[in-house]
Amino acid sequence: MAGWISILSMMTGAVGIFFGFYYLSTSLQTALAVVTVTTVGIVGLLAFLRHVIFHRSDAKRLGWETDRPDWMFEVGFANLAFSFMAFIVVFATVGVKAQAVILLGYALYLLQAAVLHGFRYFTDAERSPSRLWRSVLATLLYVGMMSFFAFYALVNQ
């Protein structure tokens, strides 16, 4: 199940970034709201479900099976916190700068995850191509796109 949630997360983020670029030339507020809700709000909520509710399936998918999944719960709760903050700043119309900060915070969080996965890829005896492509390269691309929208909003607001 965690694999399907992971795919849904990637698709949601990609769609959000696509529509973010689509609206960027006409409305910075709309573009940033779409990107914040999808890439942080919905993706963060899905990551919470994957890491907490489906933690066994997720640990197996990542090759990190454990009898003590406390750290997975911690990661899930961090994702949930970012998710809630994204929904709050968008739907309470707090402003573009607050959305940019949430995007940068989540991008930094995911950057650290990509670095960890990259370290695991290069130091493990068994190298999984899916870890390299999905957990490292795709995540770095995702971080780059989120950061672009955040910095664009901070510079142009």
Query: What is the pLDDT at residue 134?
Result: 79
Q: What is the pLDDT of residues 43-99, one digit of tens each?
A: 999 999 998 888 777 767 777 677 777 788 899 999 999 999 999 999 998 999 999
Query: What is the pLDDT at residue 22?
Result: 97
Q: Give how far the C-alpha of residue 86 lies from the chain's centroid of Cα atoms, to the nearest Å.
A: 11
88 Cβ neighbours under 8 A, 6+ residues apart: 94
Question: Alpha-carbon distance 144 to 123, whole Å?
Answer: 24
Phi (first) and psi of residue 65, to 5 degrees: -65, 140
Instruction: Kindly state the average pLDDT of the residues 125-135.
Output: 79
Per-residue pLDDT at 6 exceeds 80: yes
Written as six digits, the tokens of 129 are 């191509």
What is the pTM for the complete model shown?
0.90
Q: Diameter of the chain by CA atoms?
A: 51
